[in-house]
Structure 1
Amino acid sequence: MGENQFGVRNVMEAPIATTRLSNQALVCMPPRAAKYTLAEWKMSNDHRCRNTEDQQQLADRILGECQRIREETSERTSIMKATSDRRMEERISDIEFNKTELQLQRKELCLELESLSVYKNRLQDCLSSLQTNALSICRKCLMLRDGRVGIDLVVDEVERALQQEIATILGGQSLLEKALEQLNEQMRRLRSTRYLVDRDLQYKQAAIDLDKESLSIKQTDLCLPVYEGHTGFDPANIMVDEYNAYSNKNVQQAANAVTNARPIKVFIDTILKQVIDDLWNAFNKCNYEFNERIKDTKQTKAKLEDMHRETTQKIVDMQNNIVELQKSLLAKEGYIGLAHTRLDRRTQRVGAELVKDSPGQSLYYECEMLRHSTEQLQQMLREANASLRFLLQAQIQLEEDINVKMNTLKIDEVDCLTLRSTMDFHAY
């Protein structure tokens, strides 16, 4: 017998005559599908027809409304585009007029700046020389002196003199800048005004280009972007009256700057003479402090070298002393061994002979004396070795200090003074 799709063995395949009811297996049959009545069938068809008719009527209303909206929006779009084009053309004309006014004022600004630049060159040359030569050399000397090491890295009179010289140079620069300020005050204003005018011209040209490009764009062009954001699309927050006031203000500022700009004469020679005299005084004082510091460093270096020689001799003496102490200790080892051997052999006596007699006492005191002497020699050897280590450490420190002084002398005498010999102050 086979099995059907429900996994139930099909018992109907066997001959009915040869099977008995008691031997047949139970069969589970699937439930039959529910059937609808004729009234339900008609009701379903009527419902589908009514829904279709309603959707068709709604579609007719939507088609009519869409036709009306298309015609209305098309007309409104054409009107708004024509209005926008006309207003953009008017705006381009207004911007070009303001741009022309600004260009005229910019030309006047450039001519005035060229006329004032002649009065500025002399003071600028002096300031440039102080900055690139004198101030650079003084700061480089300070940087070189930072290369001193150890205890020589000290704030001394030379460093104070260098700081004072730098302060004098900076003060001279300040005086020259004040003299120059009267000359270029209007020049700074002219440059500032020209910058504002250039920026305004740049913005106006960009606005003209954008509007002209916008006018050239047609609705039939391809790849036109569409804004799909949620915020307001127009970021403009400046009113037309504010814009006109801003443009008029730039034109008026440019005109006022040109009107107020006048050549200003100052007593440049007097100021330069005062600055140069102060710089020479600071230069001579700094060189004097350099020479004094070099003299002190050389004296200290010579003293350290003398101490180094003495320390070296002490080290040799201490090394010889340690050798003698070690020899003494080696010499004591034989006596100690002899005394201990004798004591050990006398312990081998038997009976009444193992008596504490005078030879035994003498040997005991000899051992104690030798032990005490050995301890004294060892203590002195330790102290001698410690003293030798300290002397060697002192010798190394003296050598380091001497090297430090040599480094300081090289920096002050060779590097700094050679560098300062190139400094020159003169009236420009």
Structure 2
Amino acid sequence: MELIGSTLTATYVRPKTSHFLPAISTMATSYRGIQPPMAMNPSANLWRTNSYYKSSSLVPTLSPLQRENSDLVRAKTTFYPSNRTALATRYTPEDWYKSNHSNYRESESSRKSAERLRRDTIRLMQDKEQLTRRSQENTSKNIGERLNDIVFWKSELSHEIDNIVTEIATLTEVKRRLERALAETEGPLQVSQECLYHREKRMSIDLVHDDVEKDLIKEVEVIKSCQERMRRHLDRAIAQLLSNRAAQHELERDMRDKLTAQRIEDRCHNLRNTSDGISYYRGIERLDPSLSLPDSWSKFTDDNILRSQSERASSQKLRDEIEILLNTTSNEMWNQFNSVNIAFTNRISETADAKNGLQTHLAKTLQEIFQTEMLIESLKKALRDKENPLKVAQTRLEERTRRPNIELCRDNPHHRLVSEVREIEDTIQKLQERLMEAENTMQILAKTKATLEHDLSIKANSLFLDQEKCMSMRKSFPSMPRLVGYT
């Protein structure tokens, strides 16, 4: 073994035995049985050096027999003057024993320290290993939770992206309908203006400012007003589409970032101590490249989603407004168109008979609807009147179940009460069936009424179409679906 900082001066070979040193107990017995050395007579120590006296002064007082033996030994040594110099430089047996004891104690102390250090080190290594494992598990758990958060927000983003894409497509379709409806208004405007031009050809007394002319002028104003509102809503739809696409862009960019972060977090979550690609990156823990905190991170995505939801809400509101506008403008133009047509054909006698016939049937239907409603009310009152008798019968049955002991008899009143309950329930069931039939009849009458009213407007409009030159021109007036943007 070579020590650092010193030259190689000796070679140490470990013995082949199982222990390098003998056991402590064996060594202890090897020196405990030896008799203590005999002390010299102080009077005979004149020839010793001062260092010897210092060491020998620590020897305890010996017995007389030990002193005699010591004197004999010293007497023998006096016969050899040549050994005096050598004896003056040697240690006493007591020093030798004390040195051994000191070495033993040092050995035991060092071994105990080494053993304690070994135990503490092993325990420290185990504790640190457990701490490292727990820290790694906690880190993996945190990364897993982070992955769950990313997956959650990614699903929310995906759902919101689908919603905003659907909303963009729906708003685009509504915008196309609005553009088509705006284009469809050009034809009726031209027809109305041409009708006014043709009516200027009237001569003499017929050249009057009558109701037909008033309605035609009003029709032109209504169509121009509808066109102006359509253009304003069309501009709003274009601006809203830009806002929707901007929100979609932010969502998709956030989704791309989430996908990249998910791949990185998933790789980090699957890293193990035996994984490939792990390496040292000194000082990386002191580097903080993060640009956000968990709250600001979630708030960023939440803000994007909220912005998209807000844009979708605005888009839906705009779509509803456009739908209402299309229906309103089409109704206004159609109503005005009917007013002009009625003004053109209000004196046609042939249409009066058919119109009166439809009105007669409609009046009869309305009368039948009124009577059916009265019948329904009567049936409902009859059902309400059966509630209290049913309650009385059931209450009687319930009270009679409390009769004690042998009094709880299935007597005639019991059978009559059971029969009464069944009769009332059967009556209620039949009344409910009849009420259902009356309500179905009411629905049929209402449907018939709606059919008659619709047929009345169709007949009136159809009969007005075959008249004057203006009526033949007004046949090109667009239908209701075309006015709301459908082709």
TM normalised by structure 1 equals 0.32
TM normalised by structure 2 equals 0.28
More relative contact order, 1 or 2 (CA 8 Å, 6+ apart): 1
